[in-house]
Every structure is written in structure tokens, then in C-alpha cells.
Amino acid sequence: MKLTRNLWFESVAVAQQRAKRRLPKSVYRALIAGSEAGVTLADNVAAFGELGFAPHVGGAPPHRDMTTTVMGQEISLPVLISPTGVQSVHPDGEVAVARAAAARSTAMGLSSFASKPIEEVVAANPQTFFQLYWAGGRDQIAARIERARAAGARGLIVTLDWTFSHSRDWGSPWIPDKVDVKAMLRMAPEAIARPQWSADWIRAGGPPDLTAPNVVARGEPAPTFFGAYGEWMMTPPPSWEDLRWLREQWDGPFMLKGVIRADDARRALDAGFTAISVSNHGGNNVDGTPASIRALPAIADAVGDQIEVLLDGGIRRGGDVVKALALGARAVMIGRAYLWGLGAAGQAGVENVLDIMRAGIESALLGLGHASTAALTPDDVIVPPGFSFRG
């Protein structure tokens, strides 16, 4: 008799515990990330806990609709995959995530620092947006965009809220530049302690190569992750003129990710972006930046009727999604939530996380007495005094 383990989990918190048990310590800690004292990292999650719901009883409609569109893509729930440049979590990496997102009919952001080529990811989920950093010269950036276009990406995302802070009070994990014999020896005790993770990689043909294949034109050799990171670090940050140039390079939908102030949201609108994500890079921007949900209401007031406003940061359950939608987001993007799912159970784990989000949205809508996410308003949420940040 073959015994199959039940890998299903009931919450993102349980997925995180499983991922912690399954992944080598340094891979797990790379997903925790965060900067400096982790004030923003913690606030992203804590702020959702400060918001309450005002449920009704009686008269709830029998069905609830959560379909929507984001950057021209029809999606079955208002939850997208946020781009994350993580390597080594699972041999199928972003392809597993793309398959899961496609299986649950939602769109996916693919990081510039992803481990899988964009062509493979788009083949797994045509609803893919490619995420860029302002790294290298304009010619290099234009070549990346050209590759994304040729691969069939449906939109672009430019992420601007990274400030190269590498100090963490809890210490940063060691990540090798390349996986040579020396690096494998150093990683060996961690890998031996995580036999399932190691077996997955052995079955896949060997350890992760830690390269960034999407920062070069198709067919060119992929630089190492740190090679690509170093180029980005050496690139002067973009001006708003550069961003207007960037916008002109792509005639489809384009999101600017990392906005936390209403004045920058207006600038993104003026520069012609289709969407913004209210975000602090999951607590990886300047520590002390407010939780993205605190910044959302003012930004939604300022530009919500003129540009698609998304939010990412701290989403761990469907109720968080509903709170963000009630306060003005069109949809949200998730980061660590799906990474924990991927680490716990690969593609099935990411599907499991999306199912948790869907069930949580469904349940909150039922409590609030709404037939659709479109009916949500700020009245559904109890916001404590002093909660919001008005930038």
C-alpha cells in the first residue's frame, strides 16, 4: 500500500510553519527578508489586525462574485502573484507558481531576478506581467522589454522602492554568488538537515544555479544573481523623465510598484502608467515606512478613479484582501503568502494559498452581506483613529 502524505494546509500561517520545516534555514530566512529593525515588515501585517469588520446578519445574497480585471486581464479573484526574485525555494520555481496561478485563473508578476526564463513562465501562464528594475543603460532596459514583448507578456511592472539597505537586526542569510564545490560544502549541513528539499533538487538534476536569465536578451548567457544585482546597484536611480521614457517603450498596460505617497501616485498618473501598487516592497524599503494599507486610503482618494490602484504588503488571509478592497484597492498582490505555499508543497501549495484567499474573501463577503467585491465600501471596515497615513 502506497502512503501519500496530505500536504493540504488550512492557513498561510500553517504553510509558513511547513516551509520553515522543509526549507534550509538560509533559504527560509531569505524569504523573511525585511530591512533594519523590521518595523515596516511587522507593521504591514499588524496594521491589518487593527482594522475591524462591521458584519450584517440576515438578508445576505446567495452567491458572491469576486471576478475582476487588472491591467486588461480578467481574473477569477482579486489576488495576483507579486513578483519575487527568489531562487532555490523549489526546482520548478516561477513555472510552478505560474501553473498554480493559471489553475486558479489569476495573473502573475515575474521578477527580473526570477530563476526561470520568461518564455517558460508565459507558456505556463499567459497572464504574465514582467517586472523591471531600473538597472543598466536605456539600451539594456529596452532589450529586456523587447524580450518580454516577444515572449508574450501582457504587461510590465516597474518596481522603484528598493534602497539597497542590507542591515538586519536578526542577521542576513549567507547566499553564494555561484554554487561551486566550496559553496556546496558550506551549504551541506543545512541541505542534509532538509532531506525532502535536497531530494527534490537531486531529482531535478542538481543544485540551483542562482542566475538571473531574464535580465539579458534571449539566448545570451545569464549573469549570476549578484552580477545582476551589482549592475542595478551601480545604476543611478531614474528621474521622472526616465520613467516617462520607460512608459513610452511599452504600448500596453504598465504598473508602477512601490508608491506610498499620494503625490507620487499623481506623478505616476501624469507619467501615463496604467496602474500603481501601493507597496513598501514587503517591508524591504526604508524601514519605518508605514504599512501599505495605512497609505492606501489617501492614495485611493487622490487617484483611485483615474488609475488602477493595487496594494501589496502583509496580505495573509482573504479578510485582508477584503479590507484592502473596502479601502479603495482594485485588487491585491501577494508575496510571502505564496512563497510559503511554494516552499511547503510546490505548485499545489501555491494553489492551496490562492484557495485560502478565495475562501476567506467569500466568508468576509458573506458576513458583510455583499453579492460582490465591487459592493465593498469603507463603511464595511472599522478604522481606528490615527490609522491612515496621508502622504
Ligand X SMILES: Cc1cc2nc3c(=O)[nH]c(=O)nc-3n(C[C@H](O)[C@H](O)[C@H](O)COP(=O)(O)O)c2cc1C
Residues lying near ligand X in the complex (CB under 6 A) are found at 30-31, 33, 44, 82-86, 111, 113, 131, 159, 257, 279, 281-282, 312-315, 334-337
Nearer to ligand X (CB atom), residue 30 or residue 108: 30
Active-site position among 56, 63, 166, 281: 281
| Number of residues that make up the chain | 391
| Buried/exposed 312-347: b ≥16 CB within 10 Å, e otherwise | bbbbbbbbbbbbbbbbbbbbbbbbbbbbbbbbbbbb
Q: Is the dihedral of CA 167, 170, 83, 66 positive or negative?
A: negative
CB 337, min distance to ligand X, A: 6
Nearer to ligand X (CB atom), residue 129 or residue 151: 129
CB 214, min distance to ligand X, A: 10
CB 32, min distance to ligand X, A: 8
Distance, CA of 186 to CA of 163 (rounded, Å):
29
Runs of H (alpha helix) within 234-270: 240-248, 262-270
Distance, CA of 203 to CA of 205 (rounded, Å):
5
CB 131, min distance to ligand X, A: 5
Nearer to ligand X (CB atom), residue 167 or residue 377: 167
Nearer to ligand X (CB atom), residue 12 or residue 364: 12
Q: Residue 158 is inside which H or E element, if any?
A: strand 155-159
Nearest to 281 by CA among 173, 164, 107: 164
Nearer to ligand X (CB atom), residue 155 or residue 370: 155
Residue 391's alpha-carbon distances to 41, 166, 302, in angstroms, are: 19, 26, 10
CB 203, min distance to ligand X, A: 24
CB 376, min distance to ligand X, A: 20
Q: Are strands 73-75 and 68-70 parallel, antiparallel or unpaired?
A: antiparallel
Q: Are strands 108-110 and 381-382 parallel, antiparallel or unpaired?
A: unpaired
**524569504: which residue's cell?**
31
CB contact at 8 A, 47 and 294: yes
Q: Residue 300 is inside which H or E element, if any?
A: helix 292-303
Nearer to ligand X (CB atom), residue 268 or residue 315: 315
281 is an active site residue? yes
**Active-site annotation, residues:** 281
